[in-house]
Structure 1
Amino acid sequence: MIKVDALGQTCPMPLIMTKKALREITEGIVEVSVDNFIAKENVEKLAKEMGFHHESIQEGDIYKITIHKVIKEIVKKENKEDNTVVVIASDLMGEGDKDLGSTLMKGFIYTLSEMEDLPKTIIFYNKGVTFVSENETTIKDLKNLEARGVNIISCGACLNFYHLQDKIQVGKISNMLTIIETQMKATKIIRP
Structure 2
Amino acid sequence: MIREINNRGLACPQPVINTKRALEEIDQGTVVSIVDNEIAFENVKRFAENAGYEINTKEKNGEYYITIIKGEGTGPVEVVSTSCETTSVVYLITSNTFGNGAEDLGETLMISFFNSLLEKNPPRMIMLVNSGVRLAIQQSRVLEQFSKLVAKGTEVIACGTCLDYYKLKDQLAVGRTTNMLEILENMTGGDKVITI
Q: Name the TM-score, length of structure 2 as normaliser.
A: 0.54
> What is the Cα deviation at residue 92 of structure 1?
1.3
Shift in Å at residue 190 of structure 1?
Answer: 1.4
Q: Which residue of 2 aligns with 1:184?
A: 188
Bigger Rg, structure 1 or 2: 1
Equivalent residue, structure 1, for 2:168? 164
Paired residues, number: 113
Q: Distance in 1 between matches of 2:86 and 2:124?
A: 11
Shift of 1:159: 0.4
Partner of 2:158: 154
Could you tell me how far 1:94 is from its partner in structure 2?
1.2
Alignment correspondent of 2:124: 120
Q: Does 1:97 align with 2:106?
A: no
1:86 corresponds to which residue?
91
What is the root-mean-square deviation of aligned Cα atoms in Å? 2.1
* Cα distance between partner residues in 1 of 2:87 and 2:139: 29
Q: Which runs of 5+ in 2 are unaligned?
A: 1-83
Q: SS of the counterpart of 2:122?
A: coil
Q: Which runs of 4+ in 1 moved over 2 A?
A: 79-82, 134-137
* Counterparts in 2 of 1:142 and 1:81: CA distance versus 1, 3 Å: closer
Q: Is the Cα–Cα contact under 8 Å of residues 134 and 167 in structure 1 kept in the other structure?
A: yes
Aligned counterpart for 1:110 among listed residues 115, 120, 124: 115
Cα–Cα, structure 1 residues 82 and 170, in superposed 2: closer, same or farther, change >3 Å?
closer
TM-score (norm 1): 0.55
Cα 1:136/1:177, change in 2 over 3 Å: same
Partner of 1:11: none
Unpaired runs of 5+ residues, structure 1, are 1-78
Q: Is the 8 A contact 2:86 2:153 kept in 1?
A: no
C-alpha contact (below 8 Å) 1:81/1:187 kept by paired residues: no
Amino-acid identity (%)? 35
Distance 1:83 1:186 in 2: 8
Secondary structure of 2:100 counterpart: coil
Superposed CA offset, 1:139-178 (max 9, x none): 1110110011001000000000000100100001111111
Distance of 1:114 and 1:82 partners within structure 2: 13
Classify the secondary structure of the residue corresponding to 1:190: strand
User: Quick check: 1:90–1:126 contact (8 Å CA) kept in 2?
Assistant: yes
Other structure's SS at 2:170 match: coil
8 A Cα contact 1:155 1:174, kept in partner: yes
SS of the residue 1:141 aligns to? helix
Letter in 1 for 2:168: L
Check conservation: 1:90, 1:125, Cα contact below 8 A: yes
1:1-192 → structure 2 map (5 Å cutoff): 83-115=88-120, 117-192=121-196
- 1:114 Cα deviation after fit: 2.8
SS at 1:166 equivalent = helix
